[in-house]
C-alpha cells in the first residue's frame, strides 16, 4: 500500500506523483506562527509505504523542519517512509572549507534518517560527496536529460553548452551530447571569506553567430551565471539561455540575469517558479517505482 503526502511547498508535485502511481494522496496543513514556527497536521495516518514529498525552498530552514516533521509523523503509522526532496538544501556545505565551519550537509543527512526516512529521493543533488553522509539509501535523479530535450526545440544557433564552474562540466557534457553540441566549463573561483566570485578564464573564444546555453544545478543570486554571461558576451556570442534544475532565484536574480543579457531562464519544477518548463514528477515516479 502506497500513500503520497504533500508538504506545503510541493503539493502540486505530490498530487502528480500520486496520480501517476494511482495511489492515495494525503494532504498536509501548515500554519506558521508569528515567531516563525511551523505547525503541521496531516489529514490521515498513512499505513504501508508513505512517500513524503517536500522540497526545501523557499526558506531552507523552515522547509527542512517541515520535511523532518512530516517524516517523523508518518513514520509513526507507516512501515517505511520514502522522503522525496526534489531540491535538498545545505548540500553546498559539504566540507569544512575554512576552519570552524560546520559540515551542515552531514548534519542534514543524519537528521533525515533520525526522523525516520528509510530512503531519500532527490534531483540533481549539489554534492556527490554529501551522498556519502547519508546512512539511508539515496537516489539522485537528474532533470538534465529533460532540460536538454526542451532546449533541443529552442533552435539555438550552433550552441555552446557552458557550465559556469568546473563542478558541472560532466553534466554540461551530458547535456551537450543530448542536443548534439559542444560544451565547455569555466573555472569559477569563490573567495571563501567574502563570497566574491571571479572567473579565471584567460582564453577568449570566438562565439560570433553562436548561442550559449549556460547550465548549472541551481541559480541562487544569479551571480555565477551573470559572470558566465558576461564572459560569453565578451566572446561575441548570440543569444544566452540560462538553464538550471533548481530555480532559487533569490531577490532580483531574474532581473539581473536579464540585464546581463540572458534571453530566457529555463528551470525544472523542483522549486515552483514561473521559469519552470520541465516537470520532474515522472522522473521521481520512475525512481519510486524502482524501489516499491
Ligand atoms: C555552486 O557551486 C553551485 O553549483 C551554483 O553555481 C551556485 O550555488 C549558484 O549560486 P549563485 O546563483 O548565487 O551564483
Q: Which of 123, 189, 218, 275 to mutate to test the pocket of ligand 1 (most atoms within 8 A of CB)?
A: 218
pLDDT value at residue 117: 98
Name every residue whose Cβ is closer than 8 Å to that of residue 180 and which is 6 or more positions away in sequence: none
Atom of ligand 1 nearest to the CA of 222: 12
| Separation of alpha carbons 265 and 281, rounded Å | 20
- Look up 188 and say whether it is catalytic: yes
Specify the pTM. Answer: 0.96
Q: Which of 217, 246, 257, 275 to mutate to test the pocket of ligand 1 (most atoms within 8 A of CB)?
A: 217
Hunting for cell 551530447 — which residue is that? 177
pLDDT value at residue 149: 96
Residue 248 C-alpha to ligand 1 middle, in angstroms? Answer: 10
pLDDT value at residue 209: 93
Q: What does the DSSP 8-state code read for residue 153?
A: T
Pocket of ligand 1 (CB under 6 A): 126, 164-165, 167, 216-224
Segments in the chain below pLDDT 50: none
* One-letter-per-residue 3-state SS of 175-224: HHHHHCCEEEECCEEECCCCCCEEECCCCCCCCCCCCEEEEEEEECCCHH
User: Which residue among 73, 75, 119, 188 is the active-site one?
Assistant: 188
Is residue 46 within 8 Å of residue 26, measured between CB atoms?
yes
Residue 84 C-alpha to ligand 1 middle, in angstroms? Answer: 22
Q: Which of 198, 197, 196, 201 is nearest to 184 (CA)?
A: 201
pLDDT value at residue 154: 84
pLDDT tens-digit readout, 129-188: 999 999 999 999 999 999 999 999 888 999 999 999 998 999 999 999 999 999 999 998
pLDDT value at residue 190: 87
* 3-class SS of residue 229: helix
User: Residue 144 — left, alpha, or beta (φ > 0 → left; ψ -120 to 50 → alpha)?
Assistant: alpha
Residue 235 C-alpha to ligand 1 middle, in angstroms? Answer: 22
Q: Which of 79, 55, 23 is nearest to 289 (CA)?
A: 23
pLDDT value at residue 128: 93
pLDDT value at residue 65: 97
pLDDT value at residue 200: 85
Name every residue whose Cβ is closer than 8 Å to that of residue 3 and which is 6 or more positions away in sequence: 23, 24, 25, 26, 44, 46, 47, 48, 49, 50, 51, 78
Residue 91 C-alpha to ligand 1 middle, in angstroms? Answer: 11
pLDDT value at residue 204: 85
| Separation of alpha carbons 60 and 54, rounded Å | 11
* 3-class SS of residue 267: strand
Atom of ligand 1 nearest to the CA of 220: 12
pLDDT value at residue 145: 97
**Residue 101: how many CB atoms within 10 A of its CB?**
11
User: Residue 135 — left, alpha, or beta (φ > 0 → left; ψ -120 to 50 → alpha)?
Assistant: alpha
Amino acid at each position: 500500500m502506497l500513500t503520497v503526502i504533500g508538504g506545503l511547498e510541493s503539493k502540486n508535485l505530490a498530487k502528480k506523483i500520486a496520480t501517476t502511481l494511482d495511489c492515495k494522496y494525503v494532504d498536509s496543513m501548515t500554519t506558521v506562527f508569528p515567531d516563525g514556527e511551523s505547525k503541521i497536521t496531516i489529514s490521515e495516518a498513512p499505513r504501508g509505504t508513505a512517500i513524503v514529498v517536500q522540497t526545501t525552498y523557499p526558506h531552507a530552514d523552515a522547509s527542512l523542519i517541515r520535511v523532518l516533521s512530516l517524516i517523523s509523523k508518518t513514520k509513526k503509522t507507516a512501515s517505511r517512509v520514502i522522503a522525496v526532496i526534489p531540491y535538498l538544501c545545505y548540500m553546498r556545505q559539504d566540507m569544512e572549507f575554512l576552519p570552524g565551519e560546520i559540515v551542515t550537509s552531514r548534519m542534514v543527512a543524519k537528521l533525515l534518517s533520525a526522523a525516520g526516512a528509510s530512503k531519500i529521493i532527490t534531483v540533481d543533488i549539489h554534492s556527490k560527496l554529501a551522498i556519502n553522509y547519508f546512512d539511508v539509501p539515496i537516489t539522485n535523479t537528474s532533470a538534465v536529460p529533460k532540460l536538454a530535450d526542451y532546449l533541443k526545440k529552442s533552435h539555438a544557433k550552433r550552441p555552446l553548452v557552458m557550465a559556469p564552474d568546473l563542478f558541472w562540466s560532466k553534466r554540461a557534457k551530458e547535456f551537450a551530447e543530448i542536443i548534439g553540441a559542444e560544451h565547455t566549463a569555466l573555472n569559477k573561483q569563490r573567495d571563501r571569506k567574502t563570497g566574491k566570485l571571479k572567473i579565471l578564464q584567460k582564453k577568449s573564444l570566438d562565439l560570433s553567430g553562436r548561442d550559449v546555453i549556460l547550465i548549472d544545478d541551481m541559480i541562487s543570486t544569479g551571480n555565477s551565471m551573470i559572470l558566465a554571461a558576461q564572459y560569453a558576451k565578451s566572446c561575441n556570442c548570440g543569444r544566452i539561455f540560462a538553464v538550471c534544475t533548481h530555480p532559487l532565484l533569490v531577490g532580483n536574480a531574474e532581473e539581473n540575469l536579464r540585464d546581463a543579457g540572458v534571453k530566457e531562464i529555463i528551470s525544472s519544477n523542483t522549486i515552483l517558479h514561473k521559469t519552470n518548463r520541465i516537470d520532474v514528477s515522472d522522473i521521481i515516479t520512475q525512481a519510486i517505482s524502482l524501489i516499491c
